[in-house]
Amino acid sequence: MPEGPSVRKFHRLASAFVGQQVLKTGGSSKKLCPATLQSLWLQDAQVHGKKLFLRFDAVVGADADEEAGAPGSSQPPEPLQKRARREAAVDPAPEPSEQKTGDGSSRSSELLPRGPGGLVGDSPTAGAQRWLQVHFGLFGSVWVNEFSRAKNANKRGDWRDPVPRLVLHFGSGGFLAFYNCQMSWSPAPAIEPRCDILSEEFHRGQALEALGQPQPVCYTLLDQRYFSGLGNIIKNEALYRARIHPLSLGSLLSPSCLETLVDHVVEFSADWLRGKIQGQRQHTQVYQKEQCPAGHQVLREAFGPPGGLQRLTWWCPQCQPQLPPKELQQLPS
């Protein structure tokens, strides 16, 4: 599943179309019904952890025109212009399309909303705001102004291009194609930047308190309540860089060890995002490796809480030894 840096990249791609009207739709989704998005205006794009939120408005009447600008205009409302300028200040270069693997075969559990402020069946409610929540699958991706192509043949030997789940064509002539994702209409998202590892408002104190619990730190790192956007790659890489065994109990690690771990979570995530924006390939030190940078053999095993999801974990038993409690407390920062 794409982690925080990848979803931030998708957010940047979608943000380029904020303030534009959807002129044509397509895609393989059956439950979402892509046609319900036709003629709506993309008014906002937000990201939280591993989820992308897109706000669509049916621009009707003077109030809607005030918010979205005059019909036919591709300029976003003033608050969105400010957001776009902030994005451009980070990276003014043109955004390349995301190079991901193709669409999976699993069908999404997309649902249409019911009740006030959403959709009733397939019919839009005039003037209603609606938020499309996009949750990406294992190989989920967003492409801009081009479609994903088959990189190899399937089991039957056919070279079939992946079919996008949703395609949105905008007034500017560009389009977005969404692959291997689950989409559902939702209320306005409750964005909590304090737990988002890529947010400037990420709360280190809250993260450190969570890591200090008497459970393996590899479990806590994947808890989206405290480390939203953190996935298996970041977990493995941060633990290796901090020289901490995945099954070390957080309550037995020294405060300096936990500080170092959080530092590596934030630094690796930020470097990964920066590399994606610049079109660079990701380089890992232990994830899916046979040897660590020091030349030691890397071990792999599935770890997870009892009754919970078991995630493959890569670690170096020499660089990340499983130490007794007394030695854990004395680990250098």
HEC letters along 70-111: CCCCCCCCHHHHHHHHHHHHHCCCCCCCCCCCCCCCCCCCCC
- Active site includes 2? yes
Of 55, 165, 235, 311, catalytic: 311
- Confirm whether 3 is a catalytic residue: yes
Element (H, E) at 272: helix 255-277
| Every domain of the chain and the residues it spans | 4-186, 193-329
- On the question of a common fold for 4-186 and 193-329, the answer reads no
Tell me the average pLDDT across 56-66.
56
- For residue 187, the model assigns a pLDDT of 86
Pick the range with the lowest mean pLDDT from 24-33, 111-120, 290-299, 302-311: 111-120
Topology at the third CATH level for domain 193-329: Helicase, Ruva Protein; domain 3 (1.10.8)
Per-residue pLDDT reduced to its tens digit, 139-189: 889 999 999 887 777 677 777 788 899 999 999 999 999 999 999 898 888
Give every CB contact of residue 72 below 8 A, 6+ residues apart in sequence: 171
Note the pLDDT of residue 129.
Answer: 60
Position 326 scores a pLDDT of 56
Residue 209: active-site member: no
| Total-model pTM | 0.71
- Grade residue 327 by pLDDT with cuts at 50, 70 and 90: low
Pick the catalytic residue from 12, 50, 55, 235. 50
Domain 4-186 homologous superfamily, CATH = MutM-like, N-terminal (3.20.190.10)
- Of 22-31, 44-53, 231-240, highest mean pLDDT: 231-240
On average, the pLDDT of the chain sits at 80
Span 128-146, pLDDT tens digits: 568 999 998 778 899 999 9
Give the pLDDT of residue 323: 78
Q: Which amino acid is at 127?
A: G
CA pair distance 202, 22, nearest whole angstrom: 34
pLDDT at residue 164, rounded to an integer: 92
Mean pLDDT over 241-246 rounds to 97
**Token pair for 130:** 């609606």
Given 3, 98, 110, 237, the catalytic residue: 3
pLDDT tens digits for range 279-306: 888 889 999 999 999 999 999 999 999 9
The stretch 46-71 carries a mean pLDDT of 66
Nearest to 236 by CA among 201, 288, 290: 288
Query: What distance in Å separates the CA atoms of residue 111 and residue 163, rounded to the nearest whole number?
Result: 20
pLDDT at residue 316 tops 50? yes
SS3 66: helix
User: Is 82 a catalytic site residue?
Assistant: no
**260-270 per-position pLDDT tens digit:** 999 999 999 99
Q: Is residue 195 predicted with pLDDT exceeding 50?
A: yes
| Choice among 2, 5, 124, 246 that is catalytic | 2
Q: Is 121:176 a contact under the CB 8 Å cutoff?
A: no
Q: How far apart are CA 26 and CA 35, in angstroms?
A: 7
